[in-house]
Amino acid sequence: MDFQNRAGGKTGSGGVASAADAGVDRRERLRQLALETIDLQKDPYFMRNHIGTYECKLCLTLHNNEGSYLAHTQGKKHQANLARRAAKEQSEQPFLPAPQKAAVETKKFVKIGRPGYKVTRERDPGSGQQALLFQIDYPEITDGIAPRHRFMSAYEQKIQPPDKRWQYLLFAAEPYETIGFKIPSREVDKSEKFWTMWNKDTKQFFLQVAFKMERGDELPYY
């Protein structure tokens, strides 16, 4: 907008804008902003009436052209009405319960008791390294199931008072009950001396656990 040649202004500088001029300038800036952010084809409150002017169905205002309407959409009245409409729609929205998660069917097995087992103490004749070899028999194991094992600290189990000198080695395979062995809480040698094998023909599971070399007594287990 040209502010020169206006009363109160100096040559070569912007004049003093009147309130009306400032309003026109503000509406023009709002219109330009709205042109960049609003698609009139998707505006639910924009309507052209039978006499060729435009209406805002939200604020019930009349506008001579699209530019006037666009400037109106950036004004305080329209924005306040939008906020009130959104709050009203939110309050009228019916309560919807949280969607239920799809139920996951859990396989259930009838336990048939504890499996047979055999534990052998081993000692490397050269280094003296100690190990335990576990053999667990699962003759009635469920088809498609492989035996599982894991180590459990003394503080995880709830059967005996925790003792940091011990840890537990658990074996599980359906439909048998889970069994556990109390072994020294020593660092396990995770080299090739630690291995497992499941013999599908004989239905026997083998696990060898070797302990890193330490000074001490004979290797106990329970």
99-131 pLDDT tens trace: 677 666 666 667 888 999 999 999 988 888 999
CA dist., res. 176 & res. 142, Å (int)? 9
Which helix or strand (DSSP H or E) is residue 137 part of?
Answer: strand 130-137
- Cβ pair 6, 16 in contact under 8 A: yes
Please tell me the predicted confidence (pLDDT) of residue 10.
Answer: 54
Residue 2: what pLDDT? 53
Structure confidence by residue, pLDDT tens digits, 14-53: 555 576 777 677 777 766 766 666 777 788 888 888 888 8
Tokens of 151: 């180590």
Is the pTM above the cut of 0.85?
A: no
Residue type, 149: H
Q: What is the DSSP string of 101-118?
A: PPPPPPP------PPEEE
Going along the chain from its start, the domains and CATH numbers come out as: 20-92 (no CATH), 116-210 (2.60.40.790)
Distance separating alpha carbons of residues 68 and 63, to the nearest angstrom: 6
